[in-house]
Amino acid sequence: MNDLFKEFDPLKDKMLRILDENGILNEQLAPALPDGKVPDFLRWMLLARAADQKALNLQRQGRMGTYASLLGQEAIQLGSAAAMGADDWFFPSYRELLVCIYRGLPLSNVYLYWMGNEIGSRIPEGVNMFPFSVPVGSQILHAVGAAWAAKLQKRKIVVAVYFGDGATSEGDFHEGLNFAGVLRAPVVFICQNNQYAISVPLRRQTAAATIAQKAVAYGFEGIRVDGNDVFACYAATKAAFDKARAGGGPTLIEAVTYRLGAHTTSDDPLRYRDDSEVEQWRASDPLTRLEKYLRARQLINDNFVAEAKAEADARVEQAVTEAEAVEPPAPPDLFQYMFKEMPASLKEQLASLTELFPLKENKRG
């Protein structure tokens, strides 16, 4: 599988694409996937799209705080998540809703997190993920550390870390890649290059021709993939995981995609990009592309799509019901969970808060 990285060496100005915008598959590059698994890919992507739209609706209704949409980035999230092994770990930023739910995090946890309830960050046993990271790029260092620890313990675990193109402007990105290369850590860096860091276009973040080529400077392989092509994303991630598990060290994957929505619900993209640009990218929608392929192969039909959408809507509504049934956080929660034993300074602050604003008993305390 390492041939994939030689063939698509980022210095050759090539990008891995297996499924084109018309739903035509490159059979020579197609990964080995049973036909029955590919329709499931579409089910998951439809679920993510329904969950994403519901979150936007909840935010507009005042039932959720600021939310970061994944609209348009479903292929890289699903393709990469599906390529991981059961014992592998991943470190998300704040936009990886689909990676999280595919890897086992309940959707209600995702909603709770964006509702401002830290209970959403309590990861269930057996779900190998770290909590969402809002600071841009800081999770890269954590992931490299975890991967190095796995290597020292001689465990065949590979770690994936997700970030956007904006994170590649941060020092954490360069420090993480540098030590991953030196330590030959089993880590896969997955950059979702959605073209904008909030309002800053990629051309104002780097003078490099690609993000993938930055791996070369750190002594390991990089690859540029069509981030709206779920097959290319799966193939590149699978190859990177297989290589890391065999002791081949890290890989940087640059998934070239597009953020069809706003950066977050607090952003207005109309201030810095034209509708024509959005419409151009909308023609490369990862769901439309996959659906064209599946219909052409007669692996799905209208009934399949209708049932999948209905199932997705039902799961989303159930997750909302579960999230909204959870008790809101209590003010004392601000002082808890950071330390095993609360320091005296925090105890004093908590006492002052309680004195000024008599509180009901914190049932979770």
Rounded Cα gap, residues 278 and 72, in angstroms: 10
Q: Which residues pair with 192 in a beta bridge?
A: 164, 255
Listing DSSP states for 320-331 in one string gives: HHHHHTSPPPPG
* 8 Å CB contact between 175 and 137: no
Nearest alpha-carbon partner for 86 in 247, 191, 246, 241: 241
Here the tokens at position 187 are 């880590």
Rounded Cα gap, residues 318 and 307, in angstroms: 17
Rounded Cα gap, residues 298 and 162, in angstroms: 34
Residues with active-site annotation: 259, 263, 272
β-pairing, 187-193 vs 251-256, is parallel
Helix, coil or strand: residue 140: helix
Here the tokens at position 105 are 């995090």
Please, what sign has the CA dihedral across residues 215, 144, 52, 135? negative
* 8 Å CB contact between 158 and 245: yes
Give rounded-to-5 percent helix, strand, coil for the chain: 50, 10, 40
**End-to-end Cα, the chain, rounded Å:** 51
* 8 Å CB contact between 26 and 224: no
Rounded Cα gap, residues 228 and 289, in angstroms: 8
Helix, coil or strand: residue 69: coil
Helix, coil or strand: residue 353: helix
Give how far Cα 60 sits from Cα of 56, 110, 244, Å: 6, 17, 43
